[in-house]
Structure 1
Amino acid sequence: MQVTDTVMAQMHATPEQFVAAREYAQFSTRGLAEEVSRELRKDRRKPPMACSRSTISNLETGVARRIHHRRAAAIERVLKLPPGHLFRVEVFNVHSNKERLTA
């Protein structure tokens, strides 16, 4: 059984605090998603990433509490917040899908 480490960011702010930060920076949900996607395109690492409106919406409603650490960092940069203000980076041990299917 193969286990890989996945780096994710756990939102430690409340959904209300996330919305307040977005509104203070004068972004709509769609506008923030587009600007975060632009920020992520500057990063030439693989795989390329983007941020959808539904990702932002899910964070605002509390449906999602974890996102990829690169997205989290880009959101904080776009909102002009210090690293770690909204998200805390965590490492998770994840089993590959292939092994879950055969187990």
Structure 2
Amino acid sequence: MLLLKEILDPKYGMFAHYQETRAIWFSELSLEKQGMYFLIGLLCGLAIYNFTIINLPFPLVLYKKLLAEPVELDDIGGLCPTLMRSLHSLLDYEGDDVEDVFCLSFVMSREVFGSV
């Protein structure tokens, strides 16, 4: 449990933490190799095998992916409900002036190791 808690710490950058839902997801900006994620999977499997309760705040969509179930737009709500509602608003809008109405320029900024 202590090892998993340490691995999930944001300072390692292996997982993106979503404040709105307190969920985590795999970070595409991680400098770690796939072997580290394999290690996390082994630790999770070992915990399940030993009936140990661990806190893994993954959204439901991860389990849907593991079970090969279809993933939908609403599944992003498990990570960021605001983003899900915004994307639904864009899809539901029927006018041609999307950029003007929603004031969108389709620019995205990211925080990478403390810098935007």
Q: Smaller-chain TM-score range?
A: under 0.3
- Which has the bigger relative contact order, CA under 8 A and spacing at least 6? 1
Larger Rg: 2
Please give the TM-score of this superposition, normalised by the length of structure 1. Answer: 0.25
